[in-house]
Copies of this chain bind each other. A is one copy, B any other.
Amino acid sequence: MRIGYLQFTPEFGEVARNLERVALALEGADADLLVLPELFASGYQFRSREELLELAEPPDGPTAEALIRVAARGGFHLAAGFPERDGDRAYNSAMLVGPQGRVGVYRKTHLFDAETEIFEPGDSGFQVFAVGEARVGLMVCWDWIFPESARTLALQGAEVIAHTANLVLPWCQSCMPARCIENRVFAVTANRCGEERRVGDGLRFTGQSVIVSPRGETLARGPEQGEALEVVETDLALARDKKPTARNDLFGDRRPEMYRLG
């Protein structure tokens, strides 16, 4: 299975133009699954809940339509972040689309910092979907720091975690090997790069998108700044084998009765 990311810098609020730029960047990409950043077409720093609601879309809005066209043309699946509108509420969501249409939507469980002021905490629960023979789980940015997120996805059968991100803290990229080793899964963290200076001191996004194997190897790593498309060939058998030794099984050896995780 060929999995990859597009590291990308949107222009805030210029949804149509950002969608065009992504379509162009993905022309000719040879992949089965490509991951785009969190809120890749809208931008990140909304000045108010009103501004967010104006840019937010339903799961069958223009962003979904554009992504499905790109997926159909390229013959691949896309996982991508978008601001999801549901009545007068908005979620920080990720959708998975394929050549035949939308596969599913996940609403970010753990909101980061100022997001808590304008987005609703996600209520979808963690989702795993089929992409060909593979099972793909969705996770959005800050979800990564809670080990329960990737764990829940992996225990539900995810072999690949599609992680859309807008990272500003320094930790995630160096911790994704731990997420992959402890769950024996592949992960694609598609981060954005560039800056936004719309609120307060603004934000600088850290780039360095990463693809990590179930053995914790970093298979690809993007630049700190600058857009980049990377695809790697992976062997899903690695993610299906949960046995790091002949006598250990990372899932079978779990002892939930000994954990206190309430």
Contacts and interface: CB of A to CB of B under 8 A. Distances in A.
Contact of A254 (B148, B181, B246): B148
A109 interface: yes
B145 A250 contact: yes
Contacts of A248: 112-113, 116, 142
A247 to B, nearest CB: 5
A250 to B, nearest CB: 7
A175 to B, nearest CB: 4
Interface residues of A, number: 47
Interface in A10-32: none
A261 B259 contact: yes
A245 B171 CA distance: 13
Contacts of A43: none
A112 B261 contact: no
A152 B259 contact: yes
A61 interface: no
Contact of A260 (B122, B155, B174, B254): B155
Given A142-B248, A148-B151, 19 more contacts: A111-B253, A117-B247, A125-B260, A145-B182, A146-B250, A147-B147, A147-B148, A147-B182, A148-B256, A148-B259, A151-B259, A151-B261, A152-B259, A152-B261, A155-B261, A174-B177, A174-B216, A175-B216, A178-B179
Q: Which 7 A-B pairs have the closest CB atoms?
A: A178-B178, A147-B147, A175-B178, A148-B259, A113-B245, A152-B260, A113-B247
